[in-house]
Amino acid sequence: AATGDEAHLSAVIGDTGLAFAKDVLIGEAVRSLTPLRLPGAEKAFHVPFLGGIRAAVSNITLFHLDVGDDSVVGLGDSALVVVVSGITANISMAWSYSYYSWYFPVEISDSGTASILVQGMEVGTTMEIKNYNGSLALNATQCGCSVKDLVISLDGGASWFYQGFINAFEDHIRAAVEKVIPENIIGSTSKLDSLLQGLPRSVSLDNVTALNMTFVNDPQYGNSSIEFDISGLFTSTVAKTSNLQKHPQLSLSCGGASNMLLLSLDEDVFNSALEAYFKAGSMHWVVDKVPDQSLLNTAGWKFIIPRLYWNYPNDDMVLNISMTSSPLMRITSEKIGATINADMIIDVLHGTETVPVACISVVVSASGVVEASGDKVYGTVGLDDFSLSLKWSKIGNFHMSLIQGVIRVFLNTVCMPYLNSHLGNGYILPVVHDFTLKDVHVVTSTEQLMLCSDITFANASRLAALPVL
């Protein structure tokens, strides 16, 4: 059952990504299937002049699988189909043989081992991925196995004499392989299902915000890709954010490049993060050091705002900056822009007192670019324009044109570098441990930012044991 939330983040796995996932799954399936114990068997029959004969095979173990490159992955309306052909396998077993006849009152027996070469094996699996209460549920709806040829070679005892009798067990071994392998694949699928349902629905970035990773609706199957829709909005751990509405689904494209994975983030994702930080009270900044420290002394403002200097001669100042609303981000194909509304209160350090003397409303327009490397995204921002208005003053009215040059220098030399120092640290993308994004490039379109990437897998542990960041 799907949730009623809107999707703001989409992950599209393309044909190369599906091929990568297929190879990872096949590799993990081979490891889970080897070694694999198959059921033994006994046969008893009567032969004229010889009497009763009993033959048995036991300790039948499939210990090696060679998959090769003959495998395909296909997409149906609501399922993923993986077919692997041309598989060879090696099986070991023990055999025993005995008979008793009234001609020979002593039981005659023999035993040994055998090696079996399985050729031309084909395995096909159909898997459905559904949305179950905001998580992904994986179910193997069909799984089949067929064996083309078996070559049984006996060792020990008079194996040359008994080869024909042991060949009578060929049908049993073939049937056992064709039954047990699908059963174990379905069992392995249940472990992968547990992994998917155990993916966190919320990823905390810090003590203020968390990313909502709830899946929305069932996956959408295309001709050569699967799209997963995720809520993707940031939530505050201390304040509730507003319900942002998603724009209509846009066509997702990596600009013609063939990548394994495409992550599409609506601008609402970024705006929800900004809103979460704003409502948590994190967008407040006290400036007491600047490159030109004279700007934070009333003497530096002597000819700009004379009354400030007359009332508080040679006193130091601090700038108390607070956002008045959550910054608003806009994404276009040309750039990523933001509008920031803030109040800047001028505080004078007069003796032991901190005296607020004026409040200036500042509206800043900025734009920047986003880059990605590994599992992190980085950003840089620059000033486009700004406007000023006097909100209140205890030192008389003064025209904003008088301080516009000083504020421009302040924004370019203090505010923008401060923002870039945080954006330059990068933000980690939530990915499954041992999977790494490779050759990431960023594409922007109207109201969307897309990360196009390939994936590498450090095959260090079984999929069922992979933790999630």
Task: Output the furthest CA–CA distance in the chain (Å, rounded).
Answer: 132
Where do the domains of the chain lie, and which CATH numbers do they carry? 34-199 (3.15.10.10), 203-454 (3.15.20.10)
What average pLDDT does the structure give for the chain? 84
* pLDDT for position 365: 97
Q: What percent of the chain has pLDDT over 70?
A: 85
* pLDDT for position 124: 94
Cα angle for residues 147, 151, 23 (degrees, 5° grid) = 45
Bond preceding residue 35 cis, omega within 30 of 0: yes
φ, ψ (nearest 5 deg) of residue 109: -140, 160
Q: Is the pLDDT of residue 245 over 60?
A: no
CB atoms within 10 A of CB 185: 22
Mean pLDDT of 269-293: 91
Mean pLDDT of 439-453: 85
Q: Where are the beta strands (DSSP E) in 102-178?
A: 104-132, 135-146, 149-155
Q: Is the pLDDT of residue 85 over 90?
A: yes
Please give the structure tokens belonging to residue 311. Answer: 């009332």
**What span, in angstroms and rounded, lies between the C-alpha atoms of 391 and 389?**
6
* pLDDT for position 380: 92
* Residue (of 227, 320, 364, 205) closest to 272 by Cα position: 205
- DSSP calls for 397-449: ---HHHHHHHHHHHIIIIIHHHHHHHHTT-EE---BTTEEEEEEEEEEETTEE
Q: Which residues of 424-451 are buried (b: 16+ CB within 10 A; e: fewer)?
A: eebbebebeeebebeebebbbbebbbbb
What is the band of 2 on the pLDDT scale with cuts at 50, 70, 90?
very low
**What span, in angstroms and rounded, lies between the C-alpha atoms of 342 and 284?**
9
pLDDT tens digits, 392-414: 999 999 999 989 999 999 999 99
Mean pLDDT of 259-287: 88
Q: Is the pLDDT of residue 62 over 80?
A: yes
Q: Is the pLDDT of residue 299 over 50?
A: yes
